[in-house]
Amino acid sequence: MKKTHVALLVLVVVAISVISATFLDFSTYETFSSAAKVPGKSFHVIGFFDKAQGIQYDAKTDPNQFSFHAKDKSGAMTKVIFTNGAPPRDIDKSEQLVMKGYVKGDVFYCSGIQMKCPSKYKKDMVVGEKV
C-alpha cells in the first residue's frame, strides 16, 4: 500500500469521525410543548406571528429585547421574548418564523429568528386591488 493511500485513508477516517462528532451540533425542529420538555435547551421552533397581539418593544426600558406571541404548528400560542436586539424588519408581516431558543417557565426565550416573508407577487396583488 502506498503512503499516499495510507495518508488518504487516515484523512478520510478523521474526516468521517469529525463529521459524525459535529453531527451532534445539529438541532431539531420542535413545537413549543416538545421544547418545553427540556427546559433551557435550545431548539428550532417553526411558528407564526400573532398579529392581534403585536410586538412589545420599548427601546427606553431595554433596547435589546422585545416580545410577541407566536403560534406553533400544533396551534399552541406562547409568549416569545427575543433577547438579542431590536425587532427585525417586517416581522409583523411574516408568513412564517423559524425561532431559535429555549423554553423556561411558560415563555420561549428566543435568540434568533428567520423570517419567511410573503412573496412579491402576493404583496403586489394587494397593491393592484387598491388601484
Partner 1 sequence: MATEFTGEHLLPGQIGYFCVILSFVAALFSSISYLFAVRTETTDPEASKSWVNMARMGFFTHTAGIIAIFVALYYVIANHLFEYHYAWSHSSLDLPGKYLLSCFWEGQEGSFMLWMFWHSILGIIVMKTAKSMETRTMTIIAMVQVILGTMLLGLYLGQDIKIGSTPFLLLRHAMQNAPIFSMPNYMSFVKDGNGLNVSLQNYWMVIHPPVLFLGFALSLIPFAYCIAALWKGDYKTFIKPTIAWSLVGGAVLGTGIMMGGRWAYESLNFGGYWAWDPVENASLVPWLTLVAGLHTLIVYKSTGRAFIITIIFLLLTHLLVWYSTFLTRTGILGKTSVHAFTGDGQALYYHLLVVLAWLVLVAKLPLLFRWKSLPRVNKEEATLSREFWMFIGAAVIFISSIMIIFSTSQPVWAPLAKWITKKDIAPPVDVIKHYNDTQVWIAIIIGFLSGVTMYMKYKNTDARKLWMNLGFVALTSGIMAFAIAYLQRITTWQYCFMLYSACFSIVGSISYGISVQKSKFKNLGPVTGHLGFALILLGILLSSYNKHAISFNSMGVRFGFDKGSEEKNITENRENELLSLGRKVAMGDYYATYIGDSSVPGKDKRVYYKVKFEKIDSTTHKVKEQFMLYPDAFINPKGNESGLSANPDTKHYLTNDIYTFISSATDKAKSDTSTYISHIAQKVGDTIYLNEGYMIFNGFSKDVKDARYEPVEGDIAVSAKLTVHDKFGGIHEMAPVYVVRNKEYISYVEDTVRDMDLYARLGNIIVKSTDSAYAEIMVRQTNPMDDYIVLKALVFPYINVLWAGVIIMVFGFFISLGKLLSRKSKQEIAHPVASIDNADELPEIVA
User: Which residues make up the interface to partner 1 (CB under 8 A)?
Assistant: 2-4, 7-8, 11-12, 14-15, 18-19, 22, 25-30, 40, 42-44, 46, 57, 59-65, 81, 83-93, 98, 100, 102, 109, 111, 114, 116, 119-121, 123-125, 127-129, 131
Contacts of 110 (CB under 8 A, 6+ apart): 80, 81, 82, 83, 84, 99, 100, 101
The CB-of-77 to partner 1 minimum distance in angstroms stands at: 21
Q: Which is nearer to partner 1, 77 or 89 (CB)?
A: 89
Q: Which is nearer to partner 1, 77 or 88 (CB)?
A: 88
Burial of residue 89, with CB atoms counted within 10 A of its CB: 0-12 exposed, 13-18 middle, 19 or more buried: exposed
The CB-of-28 to partner 1 minimum distance in angstroms stands at: 5
- C-beta separation of 30 from 46 below 8 A: no
